[in-house]
Chains A and B, each alone.
Chain A
Amino acid sequence: MRYLPLTDTDRAAMLDVIGAASVDDLFIDVPSEARLSGPVEGLPMHASEMAVERHMSALAGKNLSAGSAPFFLGAGAYRHHVPASVDHIIQRGEFLTAYTPYQPEIAQGTLQVLFEFQTQVARLFGTDIANASMYDGSTACWEAILMAARITRKDRAILSGGLHPHYGEVVRTMAKFTEDEIASLTCELTGEPDDAAVIAAIDEKTSCVVVQYPDILGRIPDLAAISEAAHAKGALVVAVVTEPVALGMIEAPGNLGADIVVGEGQSLGVGLQFGGPYLGLFGCREKFVRQMPGRLCGETVDAEGKRGFVLTLSTREQHIRREKATSNICTNSGLCALAFSIHLTLLGGNGLAQLAAVNHDRTQAVVERLTQIPGVSLLNDAYFNEVTLVLPGDAREVVRELADRKVLGGVSLGRLFPAQEDLHKGLLVAATETTTDEDIETLASELAAVLEGVPA
């Protein structure tokens, strides 16, 4: 078997050294009733690379990949062009097969990358500091709420109606078990975001407000106004960024008063991957550092005075503080953080700004063309690279029919908010630098056809 180096000769020699007659003697502590006498039944035996590849390729072939059709989905996961060198670098064995850098002397590669990543995220978010990544944006969002509760010693969190519903569901699920109070505002089909409702909901018991920026409908909240109102009542602001490319064009949440900024880094370096693994980003003010969850990489010196990096402030974490830890998180999203960092290094700040401008431009093109279709209107007062279009009827069936016509036309609000009929005419459409004029034209003509009831 190609992955198992021991030969029968090896095994015999080793058993001899151990002083056991057979490998079964080494399993003597397993009660005989629990010991299987042979391979688990009902499962196939081993297979060659060729056979496995054939099997998996067949499964992959059943999926309509984003690159093979006009593609307009967003809603928290975006299709950007990832430069070719990113994937090559992350596949170097020294990155791919390395472990958490607990022995820093032989992990300076990983550690320096984490230090650079933390710096990039902090600057992108406009926060003093950032951690070495979380699982994804949704779990980072929940961890931020817990952190705000620890800092303010209050336990009421307000979720803007513009927060991604999956993120809201994660928060509500977790809060059921910790008894944190969550006030979830309703998402409304309005051109402006729900800033006024968020501000009105803040009271003295509020620990934090959670505001997505841009929000789930692509609208852009006024974080400065919300921050002022929250701080006046002793509450913190948690900003949630599901599209970091937006920060190439719109102001960083940390510079607008956000105390904790979390987000999803998938857009840069990581790829769609049907939902995971993704990359949780987490930044905050320096004074809150000891309440932060997740790993932190810090700069120091070695015994010869050379600059080096180590994981630090570990006493916050589970392996030391156990039940009093700031989080139970152990693994981070290391390889995805590396991919993000490489992509952002290739772009640089100016490149990111230009990339953002192109994203916005492509979205403007989409809006111009699609609003020409009778019955299709734009909801948003403002948008970056994602908009909500209002259709004449339920958007869910439209999306399915477009897919049958090999057009991935967007995400229906009905899929995201199944219980809210008032939103069901909404269609989320995103565009990025990968969106071509041909894609837009195809979407427009097929959408028009579907709305008119024209068969494919």
Chain B
Amino acid sequence: MSGVNAAGWRPTMGEAGEASEKFVTSSGDYGLMLEEPLSFELGAEGKCGVDIDTPERAPAAGLSKFLRKAAPDLPGLTEPETVRHYTRLSRQNYAIDLGPFPLGSCTMKHNPRLNEKVARLPGFADVHPLQPQKSVEGALEVIEQLADWLITLTGMASVAMSPKAGAHGELCGLLCIRAALDARGEKRDIVLVPESAHGTNPATAAFAGFKVQSIPATPAGRVDLEALKAKLGPNVAGVMITNPNTCGLFEPDMKAIADAVHEAGGYVYCDGANFNAIVGKVRPGDLGVDAMHINLHKTFSTPHGGGGPGAGPVVLSAALAPFAPLPFVTRGPDGGIHLVEEENRGEGHSRAFGRMVAFHGQMGMFTRALTYILSHGADGLRQVAEDAVLNANYVLRSCEDLLPAPFAKSGPCMHEALFSDAGLADGFSTLDIAKGLIDEGFHPMTVYFPLVVRGAMLVEPTETESKAGLDRFIGSLRSLAKRAKAGDESLHSAPHFAPRRRLDETQAARKPVLAWQGAPGEPGQPSLSEIGGS
């Protein structure tokens, strides 16, 4: 079998623990701990939270053979019921607004509310992508200004703004590389990816039609330069490097790697997920990078929204710039701003490799990110990186006596600190510490990633964490480490105080239930035993 579960992650449900002598309420709610049924269990046909006019006409004759026989089988709720349903659900979520969210490589920083206000200005929120360009020049200028900031901050030549997320940006970068190789008349089908890379890297490379070869890490947690050089050749299109890497360390050989790859005729793709560590302090362009995606929802504070949307513009070197996909914003010889699409692409932009997405990209994220960038400015952004790195090192040094940090002896970390679960009592693992953190009132750090460290725990506090907040978090992490080393059984059944105990992920995967199967539109509350305990 291939690397049988090398990361060591085997989630178990554990036992519920002793049944506590609990006072049982009639409703199933306990104070502000609120249970909430599905909308399908609450709603009824005939209820509607929108007042809609009555049409004056019968449907046009041509439509009659397409008409559906009955209205869609979906329940409705009035406004008070809807607001209540979602508000009650929201209270079962942890969020950045509640406390530290130290997920490594996710950069869960505070989401400024000015961003939300600006994004909702009608001139941004209520414009259609296909309006005549003269009527949306302000929107095009937002894209241009953000593009200029990203290019200048990274020291690159150009930027493709349309990718919709980080992984989408990775794809864009790799397709620019393929287009560049095609233009040179070369067919290279291998991409080198460090074994510590985020899963999107090899997945994207495969999606772009490449074969992936793995590069090992050195004992110091960096890309093995000699091993990489040994794999270079006329068949290698390039390398995908994350810098700082997924172990939270800067790759000091980055320029040497880039030089070697360029000499062998390849290109350097940089995964910019960890840009928060170096923004305003280091320019990837100075390190030989040819393409790098930037996660606006990480470094530039656009909200994570429970899983998305993101945005992944890709900065490009001069070598790759001509191949950037449509559409993009540019200035004409007369100085006028316009959007280059298929309609007006002409000869000047004939080498764009095509189009990656309908319309123009994540405009809503551009307004938010530009607002964030203007607020911070060049000095503020530099401070962001410094504080992010300072916070992570503070966590590292405050916990390394209790939790092994594989690379702590060799120097500082960047914006995230990496621990492992070696040295915990028998039968205790990273999973128990993570679930224990939930009881302490925190979202766990990233666990079991990167795969190169067994039982990895990757902690990224970000710069928006106060020292007092960090001290509380460190206190909890230290307490949990001690409990896990002492073999405290209660950790196996953590969390005890979250809206749900550990969930049966095995059952969910063996017998997937992906949609509500109940009868149409039946009103009334489900019984207590159906949603809550009995």
Task: Please give, as numbers and ranges, the residues of chain A lying within 8 Å of B165 by CB-CB distance.
Answer: 135, 329-331
Contact B205 A323 (CB under 8 A): yes
How long is the Cα–Cα vector from A234 to B384 in the complex, in angstroms?
Answer: 56
Closest 5 pairs between A and B when the two form their complex, measured CB to CB = A348-B76, A173-B354, A335-B305, A60-B123, A93-B97
Partner of A60, one of B101, B138, B209, B493: B138
Q: Are A350 and B48 in contact (CB under 8 A)?
A: yes
Residue of A nearest to B509 (CB): A312
**In the docked arrangement, what's the CA distance between A320 and B5, Å?**
10
Q: Give chain B interface residues in 381-438, CB to chain A under 8 Å.
A: 381-384, 386-387, 389-391, 393-394, 396-398, 411-412, 414, 434-435, 438
Is A275 touching B76 in the complex (CB atoms < 8 A)? no
State whether B93 touches A64 (Cβ < 8 A): no
Q: Are A349 and B76 in contact (CB under 8 A)?
A: yes
A172 to B112 Cα, complex, angstroms = 39
Given the complex, which residues of A lie within 8 Å of B353, measured CB to CB?
173, 176
Interface residues of A in 209-252 (CB under 8 A from B): 220, 247-252
Most chain A CB within 10 A, of B66, B134, B326, B361, is at B66
- A 1-19 binary contact with B (CB < 8 Å = 1; else 0): 1111111001101110111
CB within 8 Å of B: which of A49-97? 49, 51-53, 55-68, 71, 73, 75-77, 79, 81, 83, 85, 87-97
The reply to whether A93 and B129 form a contact with Cβ atoms under 8 Å apart is no
**A313 to B355, Cβ gap below 8 A?**
no
**Residue of chain B at shortest CB distance from A141:** B358
Q: Is there an interface contact between B364 and A273, defined as CB atoms closer than 8 Å?
A: yes
A4 touches B464 (CB 8 A): yes
Q: A93-B95, A97-B96, A106-B499 are in contact. Are A335 and B309 (CB under 8 A)?
A: yes
Q: What residues of chain B lie closer than 8 Å to A289, measured between beta carbons?
A: 512, 514
Complexed CA–CA distance, A7 and B466 (Å):
9
* Cα A31 to Cα B252 with chains together (Å): 6
Q: Mark A307-334, 1 if CB is under 8 A from B, else 0.
A: 1111011110111111111011111111
A302 within 8 A of B: yes
Inter-chain contact B358/A167, CB cutoff 8 Å? yes
Q: How far is the CA of A381 from the CA of B61 in the complex (A)?
A: 9
* Contact call A351/B502, Cβ cutoff below 8 A: no
Q: Specify which of A40, A63, A89, A278 is in contact with B152 (CB 8 Å cutoff).
A: A40
Contact for B514 among A173, A272, A297, CB less than 8 A: A297
A451 contacts the other chain (CB 8 A): no
Q: Determine the distance from Cα of A164 to Cα of B325 in the docked complex, in whole angstroms.
A: 18
Question: Which one of B16, B46, B411 contacts A350 once the chains associate, using CB atoms below 8 Å?
Answer: B46
| Closest CB in chain B relative to A289 CB, distance in Å | 6
Question: Closest CB-CB distance, A395 to chain B, in whole Å?
Answer: 12
A181 at the interface (CB under 8 A from B): no
Contact residues, B13-50 vs A (CB, 8 A): 13-16, 36, 38-40, 43, 45-50
A87 to B198: give the CA distance in the assembly, Å. 33
Interface string of B74-118 (1 = CB under 8 A from A): 111111001101110111111111100101001010111010111
Asked if A36 and B282 make an inter-chain contact with CB atoms under 8 angstroms apart, the answer reads yes
Closest to A110 in B: B306
Q: Are A313 and B512 in contact (CB under 8 A)?
A: yes
Residues of chain B from 101 to 158 with CB closer than 8 A to chain A in the complex: 101, 103, 106, 108, 110-112, 114, 116-118, 120-132, 134-139, 141-142, 149, 152-153
Q: A1-B383, A56-B371 are in contact. Are A348 and B397 (CB under 8 A)?
A: no
Q: Does B360 sit at the interface, judged by CB under 8 A?
A: yes
Chain A interface residue bracket vs B: 35 or more
Residues in chain A near residue B139, CB distance under 8 A: 59, 63, 274
Known: A250-B63, A304-B16. A135 touches B141 (CB 8 A): no
CA distance A41 to B280 in the complex (A): 10
Tell me if B75 and A40 are in contact (CB < 8 A): no
Contacts of A23 on B, CB cut-off 8 Å? 386, 389-390
State the total of A-B contacts with C-beta under 8 angstroms: 733
- A sample of 13 inter-chain contacts (CB < 8 A) reads A10-B466, A27-B412, A39-B377, A40-B153, A40-B382, A52-B118, A53-B114, A91-B116, A92-B90, A173-B356, A179-B209, A272-B129, A348-B74
B332-351 contacts to A, CB under 8 A, are 341-344
Which among A27, A331, A382 has the highest number of chain B CB atoms within 10 Å?
Answer: A331
With a cutoff of 8 Å between Cβ atoms, the chain A residues found around residue B278 in the complex are: 30
A106: nearest residue on chain B (CB-CB)? B94
CB nearest neighbor in B for A305: B533
CA distance A65 to B139 in the complex (A): 11
Encoded as 1 (CB less than 8 Å from any B CB) or 0, chain A from 288 to 307 comes to: 01000001111111111111
Q: Does A206 touch B at the CB level, under 8 Å? A: no
Let me know if A132 is at the binding interface, CB within 8 A: yes
Residue of B136, B203, B362, B375 with highest tally of chain A CB at under 10 A? B203
Contact with A along B3-15 (1 / 0, CB 8 A): 0000000000111
Contact A14 B467 (CB under 8 A): yes
Taking the closest CB of chain B, its distance from the CB of A33, in whole angstroms, is 7
- Expressed in whole angstroms, the minimum distance between the Cβ of B428 and any Cβ of chain A is 18
B520 to chain A, nearest CB (A): 9
Tell me, yes or no, whether B452 is within 8 Å of chain A by CB: no
Partner of B135, one of A3, A59, A403: A403
Chain B residues within 8 Å of A328, by CB: 167, 170-171, 200, 203-204, 206-207
Shortest distance in angstroms between A386's beta carbon and chain B's nearest beta carbon? 12
**Which of B47, B56, B342, B516 is within 8 Å of A348, CB to CB?**
B47
A357 within 8 A of B: yes
CB contacts under 8 Å to A, within B480-510, are 493, 495, 498-505, 507-509
Query: Once the chains bind, are A306 and B67 in contact (CB under 8 Å)?
Result: no
Candidates A20, A250, A264; contact of B412 at CB < 8 Å: A20
Indicate if A344 sits at the interface (CB-CB under 8 A): yes
- The answer to whether the Cβ of B444 comes within 8 Å of any Cβ in the partner chain is yes
Chain B residue contacts of A381, Cβ below 8 A: 62
How far apart are the CA atoms of A304 and B13 in the complex, in Å?
Answer: 10
Cα distance A47–B377 when bound, in Å? Answer: 7
Return chain A residues, CB-CB under 8 Å to B1: none
| B 311-325 binary contact with A (CB < 8 Å = 1; else 0) | 100000000000001
Task: Decide if A321 touches B203 in the complex (CB within 8 Å).
Answer: yes
B68 nearest CB across to chain A (Å): 5
- Whether B121 pairs with A57 at a CB distance below 8 angstroms is yes
Q: Are A403 and B131 in contact (CB under 8 A)?
A: yes
Does the CB pair B175–A73 fall under 8 Å?
no
CB neighbours (8 Å) of B62 from chain A are 380-383
| A267 interfacial contact with B, CB 8 Å | no
Apart from A130-B515, A317-B199, A334-B307: 9 A-B pairs, beta carbons within 8 A:
A103-B434, A109-B306, A114-B307, A119-B40, A177-B175, A303-B15, A332-B307, A350-B71, A351-B49
Chain A residues with Cβ below 8 Å from B199 are 317-322, 325, 330
- B400 to chain A: closest CB distance in Å? 11
Complex contacts, B250 vs chain A, CB 8 Å: 27, 29-30
- Determine, out of A121-129, A151-159, A196-204, the stretch whose residues face the partner at the interface: A121-129
A116 at the B interface (CB under 8 A): yes
Residue B178, interface by CB 8 Å: yes
Structural contact, B499 and A108, CB atoms closer than 8 A = yes
Instruction: Contact check, B377 vs A43: say whether CB atoms are below 8 A apart.
Output: yes
> Contacting A345 at CB < 8 Å: which of B39, B209, B309?
B39
B383 vs chain A, min Cβ distance (A): 6
Q: Are A250 and B66 closer than 8 Å at their CB atoms? A: yes
Asked whether any CB of chain A lies closer than 8 Å to the CB of B249, the reply is yes
Residues from chain A with Cβ under 8 Å of B280 in the complex: 36, 39-40
> Which B439-483 residues have C-beta < 8 A from chain A?
443-444, 449, 463-467, 469
Known: A89-B87, A249-B67. A323 touches B309 (CB 8 A): no
Q: Do B394 and A17 touch across chains, with their CB atoms under 8 A apart? A: yes
**A135 to B79 CA separation, bound complex (whole angstroms):** 28
- The residue in chain B whose Cβ has the minimal distance to the Cβ of A274 is B363
Complex CA distance for A33 and B53, rounded to whole angstroms? 67
Contact partner of B164 (CB less than 8 A), chosen from A79, A139, A174, is A139
Contact A383 B60 (CB under 8 A): yes
**Contact between chains at B370 and A345 (CB < 8 Å):** no
Contact of A276 among B56, B73, B164, B396 (CB under 8 A): B164
Asked if B264 is an interface residue, CB under 8 A from chain A, the answer is no
